[in-house]
């Protein structure tokens, strides 16, 4: 545990051992000696970018991937030397920063390369780039063979860019049917083979493709959601080739406990009404500003290993639960994760909010202190 740098007892504990275990399990499972690119965008899906990156490297990852220039620079201030790829489009005025900080960019337009070479051709160190192919995701990327060949040509001729990789991204790898996935894969293979020289690193698989499809490893896989011990989808959950270790536990504690009587109310709108004279209510210092969205009203939490319900409306900073009996102030409460022999998986929040675990882990706000366990 790090030194005490927080006061409110609402914390997300991140188990770095779990992250290392997930990475090394994937490494053992891969058919080839494909590299593992640890996807740590959005503050490592809310888990903490620098700490997760270091854990992933200890377990054998060889490259990091983020979504934005800001995320790349944030990691680079703490971790030098490690290859770091930005997966999204970047504006050209970031190029000097990429050059100085050894940050690899994703590119998909010859025109962009030509313009950037003109404006930044004088820079001292070259900027590595990966060409992005849109094989069916419809987001960013080159779609045609001629376009790809033209792009490669201007990169090779450019005074500041250096071709390091080529990749694509699957839209349906987490689904049971593989038809669309196969179409994307063939398109990618066909486009890559149209180049006279293959870049160093060819990669396509995200978590789902690497765990449940035919693994399409090429030279590297991009490991995101399951590095954190979470499944990309409920279908993938039923097909996992090895057990995942969820890294995040969201905990708080009772800061107030009281008995209320039949007919008394709790929370905004006085929505909850006590049905008996022996209604015990506990208050937790966590609310929707932390990511415990109002839509989670009625969700259960764990106290003394038992499931208890959130009652009344969730406030910005506080939330009430109904306790089965009197309990002490200071009693530990688990909102996501294990307590004794019981568990509330993050998926439960996702189901209640009709979304995916990706969104849940990203929405736990920066107000929640992250505590790292190694
Ligand atoms: C986010 C992202 C990933 C990681 O996806 P997971 O499903 O979390 O493994 C991989 N590649 C790209 C291009 C991404 O944007």
User: What span, in angstroms and rounded, lies between the C-alpha atoms of 35 and 203?
Assistant: 9
At 243-252, the pLDDT tens digits run 999 999 999 9
Mean pLDDT confidence for 187-201: 96
Q: How far is the CA of 39 from the centre of ligand 1 (A)?
A: 7
What architecture does CATH give domain 16-230? Alpha-Beta Barrel (3.20)
Are 66 and 84 in contact by the 8 Å Cβ rule? The answer is: yes
Q: Which atom of ligand 1 is nearest to the CA of 232?
A: 7
Are 52 and 14 in contact by the 8 Å Cβ rule? The answer is: yes
Judge whether 41 counts as a catalytic residue.
yes
Q: Which atom of ligand 1 is nearest to the CA of 358?
A: 8
Percent of the chain with pLDDT strictly greater than 90 = 95
Quote the mean pLDDT of the chain. Answer: 96
- Is the entire prediction scored with pTM above 0.85? yes
Q: In the chain, how long is the greatest CA-to-CA distance?
A: 80
Q: What is the pLDDT of residue 3?
A: 64
What are the counts of helices (DSSP H) followed by strands (DSSP E) for the chain? Answer: 12, 20
Q: How far is the CA of 217 from the centre of ligand 1 (A)?
A: 14
User: What span, in angstroms and rounded, lies between the C-alpha atoms of 107 and 166?
Assistant: 9
pLDDT of 284 over the 80 cut: yes
Mean pLDDT confidence for 129-157: 98
**Residue from 6, 29, 268, 271 carrying the catalytic annotation:** 268
Are 360 and 349 in contact by the 8 Å Cβ rule? The answer is: yes
Q: Which atom of ligand 1 is nearest to the CA of 210?
A: 9
* Domain 248-344 bears CATH identifier 3.40.50.300: no
pLDDT of 1 over the 60 cut: no
Helix or strand run (H / E) with residue 211: helix 207-212
Written as six digits, the tokens of 323 are 């306790």
According to the annotation, is 200 in a ligand binding site?
no
pLDDT of 327 over the 70 cut: yes
Cα atoms in the Cβ-side hemisphere of radius 13 Å centred on 236: 25
161, β-bridge pairs: 127
Atom 10, ligand 1: residue with shortest CA distance: 206
At 66-106, the pLDDT tens digits run 999 999 999 999 999 999 999 999 999 999 999 999 999 99
Q: How far is the CA of 216 from the centre of ligand 1 (A)?
A: 14
Are 374 and 2 in contact by the 8 Å Cβ rule? The answer is: no
Q: How far is the CA of 154 from the centre of ligand 1 (A)?
A: 27
Q: Which atom of ligand 1 is nearest to the CA of 206?
A: 9
pLDDT of 32 over the 90 cut: no
At 328-353, the pLDDT tens digits run 999 999 999 999 999 999 999 999 99
Ligand 1, CB within 6 Å, residue ranges: 39, 41, 87, 169, 206-208, 222-225, 232
Are 333 and 301 in contact by the 8 Å Cβ rule? The answer is: yes
Give the residue from 104, 157, 92 showing the smallest Cα distance to 128: 104
Q: What band does 138 get if pLDDT is binned at 50, 70 and 90?
A: very high
According to the annotation, is 316 in a ligand binding site?
yes
Judge whether 271 counts as a catalytic residue.
no
Q: What band does 217 get if pLDDT is binned at 50, 70 and 90?
A: confident
Q: Which stretches does DSSP call E strand in the chain?
A: 11-15, 35-39, 63-66, 84-86, 105-107, 127-133, 161-168, 201-203, 220-223, 248-253, 256-260, 265-266, 272-273, 279-284, 300-303, 306-311, 319-323, 332-339, 342-344, 369-373
User: What span, in angstroms and rounded, lies between the C-alpha atoms of 280 and 33?
Assistant: 56
Atom 15, ligand 1: residue with shortest CA distance: 87
If one residue of 23, 26, 61, 206 were mutated to test the ligand 1 pocket, choosing by the most ligand atoms within 8 A of its CB, it would be 206
pLDDT of 176 over the 60 cut: yes
Q: How far is the CA of 206 from the centre of ligand 1 (A)?
A: 5
Mean pLDDT confidence for 16-30: 97
User: For residue 202, what are the CA distances in angstroms to 17, 68, 131?
Assistant: 29, 21, 10
Spell out the domain ranges in the chain: 16-230, 248-344
Q: What band does 2 get if pLDDT is binned at 50, 70 and 90?
A: low
């Amino acid at each position: 545990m790090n030194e005490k740098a927080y006061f409110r007892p609402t914390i997300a504990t991140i188990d770095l051992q779990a992250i290392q275990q997930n990475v090394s399990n994937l490494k053992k499972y891969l058919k080839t000696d494909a590299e593992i690119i640890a996807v740590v965008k959005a503050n490592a899906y809310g888990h903490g970018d620098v700490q997760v990156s270091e854990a992933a490297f200890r377990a054998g990852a060889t490259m990091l991937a983020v979504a934005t220039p800001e995320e790349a620079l944030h990691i680079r201030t703490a971790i030098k030397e490690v290859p770091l790829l930005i997966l999204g489009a970047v504006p050209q005025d970031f190029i000097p920063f990429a050059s100085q900080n050894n940050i690899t960019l994703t590119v998909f337009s010859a025109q962009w390369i030509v313009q950037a070479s003109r404006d930044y051709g004088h820079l001292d160190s070259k900027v590595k780039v990966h060409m992005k192919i849109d094989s069916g995701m419809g987001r960013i990327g080159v779609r045609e063979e001629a376009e790809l060949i033209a792009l490669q040509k201007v990169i090779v001729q450019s005074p500041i860019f250096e071709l390091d990789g080529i990749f694509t991204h699957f839209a349906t790898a987490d689904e049971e049917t593989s038809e669309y996935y196969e179409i994307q894969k063939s398109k990618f293979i066909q486009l890559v083979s149209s180049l006279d020289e293959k870049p160093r690193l060819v990669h396509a698989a995200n978590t789902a493709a690497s765990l449940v499809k035919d693994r399409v490893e090429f030279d590297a896989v991009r490991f995101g959601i399951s590095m954190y011990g979470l499944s990309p989808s409920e279908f993938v959950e039923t097909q996992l080739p090895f057990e995942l270790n969820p890294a995040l536990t969201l905990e708080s504690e009772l800061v107030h406990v009281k008995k209320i009587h039949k007919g008394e109310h709790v929370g905004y709108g006085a929505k909850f009404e006590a049905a008996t004279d022996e209604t015990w209510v506990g208050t937790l210092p966590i609310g929707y500003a932390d990511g415990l969205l109002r839509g989670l009203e009625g969700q259960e939490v764990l106290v003394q290993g038992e499931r208890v319900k959130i009652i009344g409306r969730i406030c910005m900073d506080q939330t009430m639960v109904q306790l089965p009996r009197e309990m002490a102030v200071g009693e530990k409460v688990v909102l996501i994760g294990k307590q004794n022999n019981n568990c509330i998986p993050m998926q439960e929040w996702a189901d209640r909010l009709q979304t995916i675990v990706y969104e849940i882990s990203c929405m736990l706000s920066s107000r929640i202190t992250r505590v790292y366990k190694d």
